[in-house]
């Protein structure tokens, strides 16, 4: 079972035309592995999956798998609001050598709980490839219930859940009811420590994009060492940063932060835009509080 800090990595794009910058992505991957990141999600929400073409989506998965070379697990974003497209992405991710798929709750078409069950179970039954469910109702509108997750958790190819609700009471209830080895990851950096202390297995993190070593230390302290005091102390450095990274729609702030760190160009794809000037100072201050130097 994958445990610890999993970065929901950005897709670097060139400043001139917003084309994918694979050289910067390669450098980010090597940096994350050196900093102790336990896994990489490629082409998730933070990777601007709605804004890349199907071919680009596949190219990003392939590039990441080949660059990582099995040093850490690669989790491919394979979700879609079309069940068939999610199957197609899952088939490709398996063929190219990704370790897991991350399959988001279908967005916009607002399926019922039965529709959600049939969507995910159809993928699992069609493609022999381990899938992590991804519930982020703030983005998708639809919200997969604990009851539906429990129904799906008995399927062999559905091995975990990324929960971005920040509802720890709900997560605690789920952890107490799943009967098999089923991974639960936080999808919300602000409540990730609490979720892991309840028995969660790690975080799929936006914040880890810019402080990978610190997020990895927090996870290690909770999951492997049961040193909750050290984890809390590390986490305290990130309270302002976790909040500031969502001053505008993700990944606008985190891409701004990485550009200021000199890690990526400033490119981002419409309909997302560059970060508002009036919010830059708040994020820069939060970065400095977390020990990150910011270029002028």
- Which residue out of 134, 185, 217, 234 is catalytically annotated? 134
Q: In the annotation, is 162 catalytic?
A: yes
**pLDDT confidence tier of residue 296, bands split at 50, 70 and 90:** low
Is domain 4-228 given the CATH code 3.30.70.940 in the classification? no
- Which residue out of 62, 94, 162, 217 is catalytically annotated? 162
For residues 131, 136, 140 and 144, what is the CA-based torsion angle, rounded to 10 degrees? Answer: 70
Task: Give the Cβ contact number of residue 125 at 10 Å.
Answer: 12
pLDDT for 295 beyond 80: no
Residue range 159-175: mean pLDDT, rounded: 96
**Average of per-residue pLDDT values in the chain:** 97
**pLDDT confidence tier of residue 176, bands split at 50, 70 and 90:** confident
User: Could you tell me the residue ranges of all domains in the chain?
Assistant: 4-228
Q: In the annotation, is 134 catalytic?
A: yes
pLDDT for 273 beyond 90: yes
Given the structure tokens 């999610």, which residue do they identify? 86
pTM attached to this predicted model = 0.96
pLDDT tens digit sequence for 209-257: 999 999 999 999 999 999 999 999 999 999 999 999 999 999 999 999 9
């Amino acid at each position: 079972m994958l445990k610890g800090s999993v970065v929901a990595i950005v897709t670097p794009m060139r400043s001139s035309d917003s084309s994918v910058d694979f050289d910067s992505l390669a450098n980010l991957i090597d940096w994350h592995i050196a900093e102790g990141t336990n896994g990489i999600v490629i082409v998730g929400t933070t990777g601007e999956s709605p804004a890349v073409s199907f071919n680009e989506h596949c190219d990003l998965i392939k590039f990441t798998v080949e660059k990582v070379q099995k040093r850490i697990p690669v989790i491919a974003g394979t979700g879609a609001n079309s069940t068939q497209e999610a199957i197609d992405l899952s088939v490709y991710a398996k063929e190219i050598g990704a370790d897991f798929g991350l399959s988001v709750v279908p967005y916009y078409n607002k399926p019922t709980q039965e529709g959600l069950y049939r969507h995910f179970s159809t993928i699992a039954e069609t493609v022999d490839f381990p899938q992590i469910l991804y519930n982020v109702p703030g983005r998708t509108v639809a919200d997969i219930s604990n009851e539906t997750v429990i129904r799906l958790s008995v399927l062999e190819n559905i091995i975990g859940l990324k929960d971005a609700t920040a509802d720890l009471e709900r997560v605690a209830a789920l952890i107490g009811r799943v009967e098999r080895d089923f991974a639960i990851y936080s999808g919300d950096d602000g409540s990730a420590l609490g979720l892991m202390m309840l028995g969660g297995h790690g975080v799929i993190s936006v914040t880890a994009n810019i402080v990978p070593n610190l997020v990895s230390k927090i996870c290690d302290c909770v999951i492997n060492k049961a040193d909750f005091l050290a984890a809390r102390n590390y986490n305290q450095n990130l309270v302002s940063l976790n909040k500031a990274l969502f001053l505008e729609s993700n990944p606008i702030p985190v891409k701004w932060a990485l550009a200021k760190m000199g890690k990526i160009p400033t490119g981002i794809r419409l309909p997302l835009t560059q970060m508002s000037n009036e919010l830059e100072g708040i994020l820069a201050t939060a970065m400095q509080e977390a020990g990150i130097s910011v270029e002028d």
